[in-house]
Amino acid sequence: MNKGFFRVACGAPSVAVADPKANAASIISLISRAFEAGAEMLVLPEMCVTGYTCADLFHSRTLLNASSEALKRIAEATESAPGMLVWVGAPVETPRGLLNCAIAIANGRALAAIPKTYIPNYNEFYEKRWWSSAPSEEITADLWDGRGGHEVPVSVSQLVRTPSGVLVGAEICEDLWSPAPPSTVAALAGAEILVNLSASDDLIGKHAYLRSLVTGQSARCIAAYAYASAGYGESSTDLVFDAKLMIAENGTMLAENARWTRETQLTIADVDIEALRRDRMHITTFADCARRNGDPQFRIACVSGSSPERPSDNPDELLRTIAPRPFVPGGDPSLLAGRCEEIINIQVAGLAKRLDATHCRSLVIGISGGLDSTLALLVACRTFDSMGLDRKGITGVTMPGFGTTGRTHSNAVTLMDTLGISQREISIVPAVKLHFADIGHDPENHDVTYENSQARERTQILMDLANRLGGMVLGTGDLSELALGWATYNGDHMSMYAVNAGVPKTLVRHLTRYFADTTDNQACRAALLDVIDTPVSPELLPPTAEGTIAQETEDLVGPYDLHDFFLYYTLRYGFTPERILYMARKAFAGEFDDATIEKWIRVFFRRFFAQQFKRSCLPDGPKVGSVCLSPRGDWRMPSDASSAVWM
Do the domain assignments include residue 643? no
Phi/psi for 144 (5° steps) reads -75, 140
Q: Provide the 3-class DSSP secondary structure of residue 394.
A: strand
Task: Give residue-wise pLDDT tens across range 260-288.
Answer: 787 889 999 999 999 999 999 999 999 99
Residue 149 — pLDDT band, cuts 50, 70, 90?
Answer: low
Residue 200 — pLDDT band, cuts 50, 70, 90?
Answer: confident
Between helix 273-282 and helix 285-292 the angle, nearest 10°, is: 80
pLDDT score, position 362: 97
Q: Indicate the average pLDDT of the chain.
A: 93
Q: Are 243 and 12 in contact (CB under 8 A)?
A: yes
Residue 445 has pLDDT above 80, yes or no: yes
Cα separation, 432 vs 442, whole angstroms = 11
Same domain, 274 and 154: yes
Indicate the DSSP class of residue 319.
S
Q: Which domain holds residue 219?
A: 5-313
Domain stop point among 285, 313, 341: 313
Residue 37 has pLDDT above 80, yes or no: yes
Do the domain assignments include residue 622? no
Of the candidates 511, 615, 532, the residue with the CA atom closest to the CA atom of residue 571: 615
Of the candidates 586, 33, 9, 35, the residue with the CA atom closest to the CA atom of residue 309: 35
Q: Are 168 and 9 in contact (CB under 8 A)?
A: no
| More confident call, 238 vs 504 | 504
Q: Provide the 3-class DSSP secondary structure of residue 466.
A: helix
Counting Cβ atoms within 10 Å, is residue 506 exposed (0-12), middle (13-18) or buried (19+)? buried
Q: Are 91 and 103 in contact (CB under 8 A)?
A: no
β 97-106/5-12 pair status: unpaired
Residue 83 has pLDDT above 90, yes or no: yes
Cα separation, 240 vs 236, whole angstroms = 7
Please compute the mean of the pLDDT values over residues 372-388 and round it to a whole number. Answer: 97
Residue of 3, 72, 116, 614 marked catalytic: 116
pLDDT score, position 85: 98
Same domain, 396 and 510: yes
pLDDT score, position 337: 85
| More confident call, 407 vs 233 | 407
Helices (H), 400-504: 406-419, 429-439, 448-469, 479-484
Same domain, 515 and 455: yes
pLDDT score, position 231: 84
Q: How many CB atoms lie within 10 A of CB 392?
A: 12
Please compute the mean of the pLDDT values over residues 231-259 and round it to a whole number. Answer: 87
Please compute the mean of the pLDDT values over residues 572-590 and round it to a whole number. Answer: 95
Residue of 3, 10, 40, 46 marked catalytic: 46
Residue 311 has pLDDT above 70, yes or no: no
Residue of 10, 48, 101, 173 marked catalytic: 173
Known catalytic residue at 116 = yes
Same domain, 346 and 253: no
Same domain, 157 and 216: yes
Helix or strand holding residue 140 (H, E): strand 139-143
Cα separation, 314 vs 305, whole angstroms = 24
Do the domain assignments include residue 571? yes
pLDDT score, position 554: 80
Indicate the DSSP class of residue 2.
B
Domain stop point among 256, 281, 313: 313
**What phi-psi label fits residue 148: left (phi over 0), alpha (psi between -120 and 50 degrees) or beta?**
left
Of the candidates 460, 505, 503, 489, the residue with the CA atom closest to the CA atom of residue 613: 489
Please compute the mean of the pLDDT values over residues 18-23 and round it to a whole number. Answer: 95
pLDDT score, position 608: 96
Same domain, 381 and 279: no
Residue 148 — pLDDT band, cuts 50, 70, 90?
Answer: low
Domain tally, the chain: 2
What pTM did the predictor assign? Answer: 0.91
Q: How many CB atoms lie within 10 A of CB 140?
A: 14
Q: Provide the 3-class DSSP secondary structure of residue 108.
A: coil
- Residue partners of 566: CB distance under 8 A and separation at least 6: 580, 584, 600, 601, 604, 605
Task: Give residue-wise pLDDT tens across range 151-167.
Answer: 899 999 999 999 999 99
Residue 579 — pLDDT band, cuts 50, 70, 90?
Answer: very high
Do the domain assignments include residue 320? no
Please say whether the dihedral angle defined by the alpha carbons of residues 582, 583, 589 and 594, taken in this order, is positive or negative. Answer: negative
Cα separation, 403 vs 533, whole angstroms = 18
Residue 177 has pLDDT above 70, yes or no: yes
Residue 205 — pLDDT band, cuts 50, 70, 90?
Answer: confident
Do the domain assignments include residue 240? yes
Q: How many CB atoms lie within 10 A of CB 61?
A: 7
Please compute the mean of the pLDDT values over residues 597-608 and round it to a whole number. Answer: 96
Task: Find how far residue 391's CA is from the centre of its chain.
Answer: 38
Cα separation, 315 vs 312, whole angstroms = 8
Q: Residue 218, CB half-sphere, CA atoms under 13 Å: how many?
A: 25
CATH number at residue 548: 3.40.50.620
Q: What radius of gyration, in Å, describes the C-alpha atoms of the chain? A: 31
Same domain, 290 and 183: yes
Same domain, 242 and 338: no
Q: Are 531 and 510 in contact (CB under 8 A)?
A: no
Task: Give residue-wise pLDDT tens across range 208-225.
Answer: 999 999 999 999 999 999
Task: Give residue-wise pLDDT tens across range 113-143.
Answer: 999 999 988 777 788 899 999 998 889 998 8
- What does the H/E/C string look like for 208-265? HHHHHHHHHHHHHCCCEEEEEECCHHHCECCECCCCCEEEEECCEEEEECCCCCCCCE
pLDDT score, position 287: 93
pLDDT score, position 549: 77
| More confident call, 29 vs 336 | 29
Do the domain assignments include residue 122? yes
- Residue partners of 307: CB distance under 8 A and separation at least 6: 1, 40, 83, 162, 163, 164
Residue 419 — pLDDT band, cuts 50, 70, 90?
Answer: very high
Q: What is the longest distance spanned by two Cα atoms in the chain?
A: 101
Domain stop point among 282, 313, 344: 313
Cα separation, 591 vs 604, whole angstroms = 18
Residue 616 — pLDDT band, cuts 50, 70, 90?
Answer: very high
Q: Provide the 3-class DSSP secondary structure of residue 404.
A: coil
Q: Provide the 3-class DSSP secondary structure of residue 193.
A: strand
CATH number at residue 291: 3.60.110.10
Of the candidates 266, 180, 252, 181, the residue with the CA atom closest to the CA atom of residue 223: 252
Please compute the mean of the pLDDT values over residues 604-627 and round it to a whole number. Answer: 94
Of the candidates 409, 411, 403, the residue with the CA atom closest to the CA atom of residue 425: 409
Same domain, 337 and 439: yes
Same domain, 348 and 440: yes
Task: Find how far residue 197's CA is from the centre of its chain.
Answer: 26
Q: How many CB atoms lie within 10 A of CB 275?
A: 21
Task: Give residue-wise pLDDT tens across range 481-514.
Answer: 999 999 999 999 999 999 999 999 999 999 999 9
Cα separation, 439 vs 158, whole angstroms = 74
Cα separation, 495 vs 473, whole angstroms = 5
Do the domain assignments include residue 298? yes
Task: Find how far residue 114's CA is from the centre of its chain.
Answer: 31
pLDDT score, position 537: 81
Do the domain assignments include residue 323? no
Cα separation, 193 vs 215, whole angstroms = 13
Residue 375 has pLDDT above 80, yes or no: yes
pLDDT score, position 258: 85
pLDDT score, position 57: 93
Same domain, 354 and 299: no
Q: Are 404 and 444 in contact (CB under 8 A)?
A: no
What proportion of the chain, given as a percentage, has pLDDT over 90?
Answer: 79
Counting Cβ atoms within 10 Å, is residue 69 exposed (0-12), middle (13-18) or buried (19+)? middle
Same domain, 124 and 90: yes
Residue 145 has pLDDT above 70, yes or no: no
| Vertex 553: Cα angle to 547 and 558 (nearest 5) | 140
Q: In the chain, what are the helix, strand and coil shares in percent, each to the nearest 5?
A: 40, 20, 40
What residues form DSSP beta bridges with 172?
197
β 422-425/394-398 pair status: parallel
Cα separation, 104 vs 74, whole angstroms = 11
Known catalytic residue at 46 = yes
Residue 82 has pLDDT above 70, yes or no: yes
Task: Give residue-wise pLDDT tens across range 319-356.
Answer: 999 999 999 877 777 778 888 999 999 999 999 999 99
What residues form DSSP beta bridges with 160?
168, 301
